[in-house]
Each structure stands twice: as structure tokens, then as C-alpha cells.
Structure 1
């Protein structure tokens, strides 16, 4: 499907694996120049440039901790220096852990909130001066923000906060022509966020999902491409649930 994005420049945070990687590759296939970031070396971060080269695309890969405003500012400056003004921003970087509240130390609470929420604040704020007219922001959240999940109060809280951030910024940035939407994903296979109950937990989610299967990262990436395209030009402040009917 051609979303007519060719020639644009997108910044995707956390783009080396899972949903982020699928989004990077989908945008590359659409002819978008992509800047993305990662926090630590891995097989995925090492293989991404080759995967993009195989598609004939343009990629700028930068090590960045989205919790650090200075690093994020440097990321945006580097992105603009390489590919020019930013047409699209996909806030995908996120972390998770599974702990009961009584075992959740303050440092772990802050690690999750600082990455998943403050990281988005940092990236959107740093990108604002570099946005083209009619830029589009997509914030990746999760269906657990609505449904809840035990042993992950910090993660659920962070994903719910993204709903509020999206709704606030759609009103603030709309007069500038910047659209801000949110994608709440269901249980996606191969994201690296493994259910602590293993195969039993995976089977439970399959049974809970109307389509009787888990989602694939590429199925999230397709919706991201739609939200970045002119096909969604009158959509902002929306929360799109892509969850197979869980």
C-alpha cells in the first residue's frame, strides 16, 4: 500500500527492534528518510543498517537515551543536519518490567516513567523547532492503559499518561498545523516484552483476543504509516486501538 510519504523525513525513537524496527522498515519502503535511535548495542542495532540498505533506503542511526534532554536535542540537530526538517515523529521508545508494588523500588518506578513519558516530552519539545508545516506525531501507547495489568503499575501508569499528553498537545499544537495521535497496541508478538508466564501467558492472550492470535509488529507499523500520511489529515488527538479485539 502506497501512503504517498516519499521524500519525507521521520524520526522514530527506539527503532532497532519490535514495533520500532517494523515502523522504520515500513517507512523506508515508503521512501521516507528515517532517523532512529537506540540505547545499547545489540544484534538488532547492528543488523538494522544492512536491512535498510537492502531496501535502498536512507537511515541515520544515533545512540540516544530519551531520558536525557541534552542527548535528545543532539539527536534532533543531527537528524536535521542529515536529512533536513522533520515531517514526522514516532515516539516508540519504551521499557517495561514486572514487579508487585511492594517490591517496586523508587528507582525502578522512575526508570519506567522517565523513559516512557518524560522521554516523549523530551523528543516532542526538541523536535518542535524542526517540524515542517503539517507535521505529524504518533505516540505509541498500550491497551493496558485502559484495561490495567497486575504487577506493572509503573508501566500502566506511563501508558495512560501518554493518552493525556496526546490530548493536551493536539489542542496546543493544532493551530501550528501539527497533528498528534496515539496508537494503543494490543499484545504484539516478537516485541521483546515477554510475558513473565511464558507460553502459558501467551496462550492466555491469544484466547482473550477476538482474532485468536497475537499481533505482528508490521501490523502496528501499517497504522503508523496511515497516521503519518495525508489520508489522516483531519485526525488529531485520537487514540487508535490496534489490538485484535482483546
Structure 2
């Protein structure tokens, strides 16, 4: 990935943070964005300092706001001169039974998990060179459903459809588009789920373990790089075999 120009949305926490760090270690030049947490942004820059790649450019931006998305991609032009890789990662989860779900909650999840992907792709793809790669972060639950998360499942299923359509649309430009679909992530830096829940899901996985952010980042780098140059329109599950 040496010299590759990369944009990762939502790059200061979880999968996004692990992906940014992996790209930097591989020698890429990275622009990333975050929404509110300045401390997480500062921590990312510090963590990437002294690595083989340049320190990432970190921009505060709301990827659901077209004006912020335009400003973010303008930063990619000024800092990188274009793009080779886009990782659409910024997203949100949700857990609400359909009977209790307010329209605002439905729209919150769909806006960040689907509409933001469209906005960023629309603005970033014109900057991409031939041979480029778009990697959308979905969820393996989109393929099997999850109770209490109809909005999240619908959004992540839409990401797969978006991926497949863009793969065909952008293929003539030699730009590949794929989805990485993580399962439940076990992140020591963000222990937001009770241990019994983690244990129950871990027992359901074929590998009897859950993926971490770095595992997902490895799949992202594979789909972003030349080793996957004939892979497009695909969904790669990273869920331990659920």
C-alpha cells in the first residue's frame, strides 16, 4: 500500500481506527474523519506517529451533511491529490423492537448507515484513479437478521445492494467495490456489551471466538490492495463463522 491515497470515514474508533493504523503501517497516505470526540482524534494521531507511513490527516466532519462531505473530499484533493481507496466505515448500531421504534430512530440509523455511504461515495469516486477500490463496512447480521434491530439490518442489507450496483457501474473505470461484513466485534477499548452476551455469541461462532477490529482491518486491506484486483461486488464476512 506504499503511497496509496486513502480516505477512511469514522477513523478514530473501532474498525475505522484499526483500519487507519493498518493503512499507515502499510505505507499509505490517509485522510480520515470523526464527528465529535476530539480526544479520540488526538489519540489516533499519537498512535500513528513514528510509523512507516505519514501521520493521517484527521478532519472533523459529519458524513450525513453534504457540505461537510464536500469539505472532506476537498481535503483529500489538497492533501493527497486524489484517492486510490475509499473505506466507508462511519456508522451506527441500534437496538429497538419494531413495535417501539420511533420514526426518528429508524431515520437516524438509515441516514448514517446508508445515506452517508451514498454521499461520501458520490463525492469521492470522481477523485479515484483507475485501479481504485471502495470498501463498504456492512454487517454479517444483514444476511441473517437480528431481533430488535430491523433498522440496522435493513440499512446494512442496503449497503450490500449499493456495493453490487456500484461494482457494475464503476467496473468500466477499473474501480472495484466490495463489502466487509463483520459480526459482533470484541473490542477491549470499547467494552460496551455484558460478558454473558459476549460469551453466548462466542459460543455460536464456528471458531468459538469473536473478531476484533484488527481482524476486520485485515480484510479491508486485502480488498483495498492489488491482491484482490479481480474481486468486486462481493461481501466478505468476518464473523468467526456465525
Unmatched 5+ stretches in structure 2? none
Q: How far does residue 186 in structure 1 lie from its aligned partner after superposition?
A: 1.5
User: How many angstroms apart in 1 are the aligned matches of 2:210 and 2:139?
Assistant: 14
After TM superposition, list the pairs within 5 Å mapping 1:91-130 onto structure 2: 91-130=88-127
* Residue 179 of structure 2 corresponds to residue 179 of structure 1: no
User: How many angstroms apart in 2 are the aligned matches of 1:236 and 1:203?
Assistant: 34
- Cα distance per residue 1:52-82 (max 9 Å; x no partner): 1132533110111111111111100111101
User: How many angstroms apart in 2 are the aligned matches of 1:37 and 1:115?
Assistant: 14
- Aligned partner of residue 49 in structure 2, secondary structure: helix
* Residue 42 of structure 2 corresponds to residue 46 of structure 1: yes
- Cα distance per residue 1:27-72 (max 9 Å; x no partner): 0000001100011125322201111113253311011111111111
User: How many angstroms apart in 1 are the aligned matches of 2:192 and 2:148?
Assistant: 14
CA contact 2:45–2:55 (8 Å) conserved in 1: no
After TM superposition, list the pairs within 5 Å mapping 1:1-246 onto structure 2: 5-56=1-52, 57-190=54-187, 192=190, 194-195=192-193, 198-246=194-242
TM-score by length of 1: 0.94
- Cα distance per residue 1:188-242 (max 9 Å; x no partner): 11174834xx221111111001111111111111111111111110110011111
- Aligned partner of residue 87 in structure 2, secondary structure: strand
Higher mean C-alpha deviation, range 49-58 or range 79-88? 49-58
CA contact 1:96–1:193 (8 Å) conserved in 2: no
CA contact 1:10–1:34 (8 Å) conserved in 2: yes
Unmatched 5+ stretches in structure 1? none
User: How many angstroms apart in 2 are the aligned matches of 1:182 and 1:134?
Assistant: 17
TM-score by length of 2: 0.96
User: How many angstroms apart in 2 are the aligned matches of 1:42 and 1:148?
Assistant: 34
User: How many angstroms apart in 2 are the aligned matches of 1:99 and 1:192?
Assistant: 21
- Aligned partner of residue 7 in structure 1, secondary structure: coil
Higher mean C-alpha deviation, range 44-53 or range 175-184? 44-53
